[in-house]
Chains A and B, each alone.
Chain A
């Protein structure tokens, strides 16, 4: 095992394409990723605002389970792909050390169910692993079809670099942009990389939430983006599926595909589109872009 993998609920549900493409890409790079046995909710749901210590305890249970997989090493790296999981798990770690009272409560709770917690897990984001452990050289060498001519707006979302900037710049992250450059795509310069996608509001205060989403997509389009690449199931879902509603509200048709960055990597690696969950997209990638990314002599079908 190279890394433990914490999927989280989205990756098994509406964000399944993220998991499919992530696994396919890591396989292609010969990096082994083992799913954490018996994982549970990361605590990122509204639980956090209802009961802080239970939310932290929930997340910490996953960390305790992960420590069991350390095999005598002094720590273990666990990949959390979903932004909410990534932040939820890191936040649990920080809260336990930063607030000793809460920490004691949580560790005591875990011990009661036979889980020891020593804070020895390193929570890693796939972008962090890809850029810092694997490296652009190895990634570039795996590319079969450069995504030449494809203009990508890299959207990091609100949670990967905030409030804890562990591997990228807090104001203006660049890792995904560099990754896209490594697979031959062109990235557009937009200042909205970490701006709220409106996801948490589109269900409750849709007028406001959708307006935020619309601004993001409109600006991406204005800067010539063919596609928006995300690293978060909620952002992907929110930005993609609400475009019809946005058209109704703001009178502008966007039709901008929103994909996971791992899906674009998979396409560049020449992996079968089904393995990447490309068929699950509601707004398909334009044919003229896909025609450049050949797969065994055939056009990639969507």
Chain B
């Protein structure tokens, strides 16, 4: 059991209290010298000091020095949140040969100075929290971090550019990578684009070579048309269950000749192709796009005659012949993977423009979303790259409406970051391919990237029109004969202070980015959190932007927030590096906040056995006591709370520690 003499060999404990100014972040509100004076009056405090930046090198050195000089046995640092610098100061303690767990962090920044109006109140609150910690730390035990071997291998969830890039980086470093993609092909949104801003490289030219490399890479296994269904375990030791959905074409047997598609009873493609957003057609057996990876066709049971009637001549089966690649009886297949780390790169969804009926999407056929226009412009798209309206004509004039579903409290408040630039790109391509007059309707132009502002400048030179104002309405009613049979964009031009009506043939809605529709379910699956707006939450917005609160699980790309391709790739590389840093260790240290059961007090009631969410406690029939299987314990403390005799305890959160902390926070000592 805990007792505060456990590591002092009978000598009274000597606590060092170190209080950080954090520049003015803390000292601007909390009267630090007063708190230092107060700390000196607390029992067993041998030294109390302040410093401008405790986490800096001189700060750390000061602590180490004082530990030696004053013979400190326990350490208390009052600074920022433990989520930021607990590790830093534990390391300081251990370098000065104090067990790192004889340390307590007091959060007087996030919980005190930043949230309290009054300086005196803040000072008093800081004192109470330091008093609580000084009491708590007396009951800390020496602990050793739990060490576990790290399994090799990484699961990357999502096969867009983020997942592809992360997978390649890791695979090149010799890591085994499983790339899981729920669509039939990897490539994600980027594969749908025509050109990329601001350099106007063709998206396919830069992406498809990477996709091919992924497919050929000996260290990468692509699990396409597959979804992660279960994740268990912990950092370094994850078990991931992946469901491979049936594509009715056996991947291992397919040689990618596509003779089956040729031989389908449907001579012409008749069904809307999902990849082309319904603008193009496909057969029941199809590849979503010519450069798909894996280059394996799939059968859509909704439209396939064999599935619907069972009476199809099965041209596809005959065409495949001895290769025998078609299997109408394919079922879901569960693949179990054991890996050390996980990268979540599930990407984004585009805003559903039909939510704003006044922009006419879904009402007027010539109102398109930006993504649809990417397909129209794409050489391998439904029109072979020719911009044709739904009536088959070329547009003479085009209106591009920015910020659709962004920067609006009725839809999404965030700036989607890519729309200004892709609108400019589409404006350029439209003008180049059709010679049409192009109007951009914008709130602000946001072009803060390398070469972005210059691209905007180029567009201005090219004679694209820019009208600053939020569009009120897109409609087809005519006020003048000139407007008849055209789409009319009604907008307040805020630069000339007038309401204008601009008739056009085609409207492009620059829809914003949203989290994937099932983002919430994904967070539950991986035990990660969401920030505002359902974007996945990073561990720290600045200092740990690709980590999550769940150790061993990392984020890459737009699932964390709207991002353009350069940022996505950079982040994917960062996530890959973080995972490599993890998997290249032979062992991983895990916070030793696991439970322990003191046999002497255990009555064998088994309440804890049923409550443990990880089945980490079992009942020893012989000894008649509950026994903990420590590697399975993830340290929630439910057993400690439920144990009627106090036999079950949780390291770092033992009864005495919590009792002391609560008492210290409320009652003054001495």
> Chain A interface (Cβ within 8 Å of chain B)?
171-172, 189-192, 215, 218-219
Contact B479 A191 (CB under 8 A): no
The residue of chain B having its C-beta at the shortest distance from the C-beta of A215 within the complex is B479
Contact A171 B357 (CB under 8 A): yes
The residue of chain A having its C-beta at the shortest distance from the C-beta of B475 within the complex is A191
Contact B477 A215 (CB under 8 A): yes
Residues on A with C-beta less than 8 A from B358 are 171-172
- With both chains docked as a complex, state the minimum distance between the C-beta of A75 and any C-beta of chain B, in angstroms: 31
Residues on A with C-beta less than 8 A from B478 are 215, 218-219
> Chain B interface (Cβ within 8 Å of chain A)?
357-358, 360, 363, 473, 475-479
Determine the distance from Cα of A172 to Cα of B360 in the docked complex, in whole angstroms: 11
- With both chains docked as a complex, state the minimum distance between the C-beta of A209 and any C-beta of chain B, in angstroms: 14
Determine the distance from Cα of A192 to Cα of B475 in the docked complex, in whole angstroms: 9
Contact A172 B477 (CB under 8 A): no
Given the known interface contacts A172-B357, A172-B358, the answer about A192 and B363 at a Cβ–Cβ threshold of 8 Å is no
Determine the distance from Cα of A172 to Cα of B358 in the docked complex, in whole angstroms: 8
The residue of chain B having its C-beta at the shortest distance from the C-beta of A172 within the complex is B357
Residues on A with C-beta less than 8 A from B477 are 190-192, 215, 219
The residue of chain B having its C-beta at the shortest distance from the C-beta of A219 within the complex is B477
- With both chains docked as a complex, state the minimum distance between the C-beta of B60 and any C-beta of chain A, in angstroms: 60
Residues on B with C-beta less than 8 A from A189 are 363
Determine the distance from Cα of A191 to Cα of B479 in the docked complex, in whole angstroms: 13
Residues on B with C-beta less than 8 A from A190 are 477
Residues on B with C-beta less than 8 A from A171 are 357-358
Determine the distance from Cα of A218 to Cα of B485 in the docked complex, in whole angstroms: 13
Determine the distance from Cα of A191 to Cα of B472 in the docked complex, in whole angstroms: 12
The residue of chain A having its C-beta at the shortest distance from the C-beta of B360 within the complex is A191
Determine the distance from Cα of A111 to Cα of B199 in the docked complex, in whole angstroms: 74
Determine the distance from Cα of A215 to Cα of B358 in the docked complex, in whole angstroms: 19
The residue of chain B having its C-beta at the shortest distance from the C-beta of A189 within the complex is B363
Determine the distance from Cα of A171 to Cα of B477 in the docked complex, in whole angstroms: 16
Since A191-B473, A218-B478 are in contact, a sample of 5 more A-B pairs with Cβ atoms closer than 8 Å, ordered by chain A residue number, is: A171-B357, A191-B477, A192-B475, A215-B477, A219-B478
Residues on A with C-beta less than 8 A from B475 are 191-192
- With both chains docked as a complex, state the minimum distance between the C-beta of A195 and any C-beta of chain B, in angstroms: 8
Determine the distance from Cα of A218 to Cα of B473 in the docked complex, in whole angstroms: 19
Of all A-B residue pairs in the complex, the 8 with the closest CB atoms, nearest first, are A191-B475, A219-B477, A172-B357, A171-B358, A192-B477, A191-B477, A215-B479, A171-B357
Instruction: Supply 19 A–B pairs (Cβ within 8 Å), ascending by A.
Output: A171-B357, A171-B358, A172-B357, A172-B358, A189-B363, A190-B477, A191-B360, A191-B473, A191-B475, A191-B476, A191-B477, A192-B475, A192-B477, A215-B477, A215-B478, A215-B479, A218-B478, A219-B477, A219-B478
Determine the distance from Cα of A219 to Cα of B479 in the docked complex, in whole angstroms: 9
Determine the distance from Cα of A218 to Cα of B478 in the docked complex, in whole angstroms: 9
- With both chains docked as a complex, state the minimum distance between the C-beta of B355 and any C-beta of chain A, in angstroms: 12
Residues on B with C-beta less than 8 A from A172 are 357-358
Task: Name the residue among B473, B477, B478, B479 with the largest chain A CB count within 10 angstroms.
Answer: B477
- With both chains docked as a complex, state the minimum distance between the C-beta of A119 and any C-beta of chain B, in angstroms: 29
The residue of chain A having its C-beta at the shortest distance from the C-beta of B356 within the complex is A171
Determine the distance from Cα of A217 to Cα of B429 in the docked complex, in whole angstroms: 39
The residue of chain A having its C-beta at the shortest distance from the C-beta of B488 within the complex is A191
Determine the distance from Cα of A219 to Cα of B475 in the docked complex, in whole angstroms: 11
